[in-house]
Amino acid sequence: MIIPSLDLIDGKVVRLYQGNYNQQCNYGNNPLLYLKNYKIQGAKMLHIADLSGAKFPKKRQIYLLKDILQDIKIPIQIGGGLRSSNEISSLLAAGATRVIIGSSAIQTREETKRWFHKFGPEAIVLALDIRINANNDKKIAIDGWQKTVDFTLEEIIKLYQPLGLKYVLCTDISRDGTLNGANVKLYQEISNIFPNISFQASGGIGTLNDIAALRGSGVKDVIIGTALLKGKFTLSEAIECWQKG
C-alpha cells in the first residue's frame, strides 16, 4: 500500500534533506490537517516520525502524538528515537498500530529482543537506514544518520528473524528527500533474499513513475513524504498508480 508520511518537529510538519536537521523545509504547524486530508484521499495507514524525540528524548511530542491517535481513526505507525518499553507501551496504549524501532535495534539489541517478546512482531517495524558502499555493503546508519556502524542490513534482519520479524522499513539515505527516484535494485535484492519480510520502501519518490517502478520490486508498502507535501501528485493518484500493479 501507499503510506503517506509526516515528520514532526516541535509540532510543525517538516521535511529534512537526507536527515540533516539543518536542512529542513517547514510545511506549517497543523499536522492534523494533512492527516485528515490523507484519510479522505484513501490512506489505509499513516506514518509519523517524531523528529524532536529522535534527537532529544526529553522533547518527545507525546501529547501531540496522542491527540493525533485519538483524532485519526485509521492505523498509524509511529517512530522517532524510541528507546524504552514505557515509550512503546504509551504509544500502543494510545492507539498506535505499530511502533518504529530504529537505532535501538542496533544499540540495545537484547532490549529490542525483549520488546519483540513483550509486544509481538505485529506491533514492531524495524527502521533500517542504510548507506551502500562500492562493494554493495548495506551499512546501517544510526542516531539520525550521524553514525554508520559495521552491521549490515542483512545481518540485522537475520538477528531478529527468529523472533518473528515481519516489517522492515528500509531507507537508502542517498535517496531520501531528493525526489530522484527510489533504489529499485536494492528492494529487488533484499525482497529476494528475505521473501517473508514485508518491506516498506522509503526515500526518493518524486513522480508517479517512481511509484510504478517499485511495483515489481517485491516491496509491500511505499512511504511517501516530500512529494506529497510539495504537491508533485496527490495521494489518491499515488494509490491508483500503485494499484495498477
Gap between the Cα atoms of 133 and 203, Å rounded: 17
Question: Among 7, 50, 210, 221, which one carries the catalytic annotation?
Answer: 7
Q: Tell me, yes or no, if 143 is annotated catalytic.
A: no
For residue 148, the model assigns a pLDDT of 75
Q: In sequence order, what are the residues at sequence separation of 6 or more whose Cβ sits closer than 8 angstroms to the Cβ of residue 181?
A: 175, 204, 205, 206, 207, 210, 213
- pLDDT digit string, tens, across residues 189-236: 999 999 999 999 999 999 999 999 999 999 999 999 999 999 999 999
Calculate mean pLDDT across residues 145-150: 75
Calculate mean pLDDT across residues 120-140: 95
Place of cell 518473528: 164
Neighbours of 166 (CB within 10 A): 19
Bridging pattern class, strands 12-17 and 20-26: antiparallel
Gap between the Cα atoms of 20 and 13, Å rounded: 15
pLDDT at 160 over 80: yes
Q: Is the dihedral of CA 184, 185, 189, 192 positive or negative?
A: positive
The SS3 call for residue 23 is strand
For residue 145, the model assigns a pLDDT of 67
Gap between the Cα atoms of 227 and 65, Å rounded: 23
**232 exposure class (CB count in 10 Å sphere: 0-12, 13-18, 19+):** middle
Percent of the chain with pLDDT over 90: 78
- pLDDT digit string, tens, across residues 86-119: 999 999 999 999 999 999 999 999 999 999 999 9
For residue 179, the model assigns a pLDDT of 86
Question: Among 129, 172, 176, 221, which one carries the catalytic annotation?
Answer: 129
Q: Tell me, yes or no, if 7 is annotated catalytic.
A: yes
- In terms of pLDDT, which residue wins out, 2 or 80? 2
Q: Which of these, 29, 7, 10, 28, lies nearest to 18 by C-alpha position?
A: 7
Please give the model's pTM, rounded to 2 decimal places: 0.93
Domains and their CATH numbers in the chain:
2-243 (3.20.20.70)
- Residues 77/48, Cβ–Cβ less than 8 Å: yes
For residue 142, the model assigns a pLDDT of 85
Average pLDDT value for the chain: 92
- pLDDT digit string, tens, across residues 27-51: 999 999 999 999 999 999 999 999 8
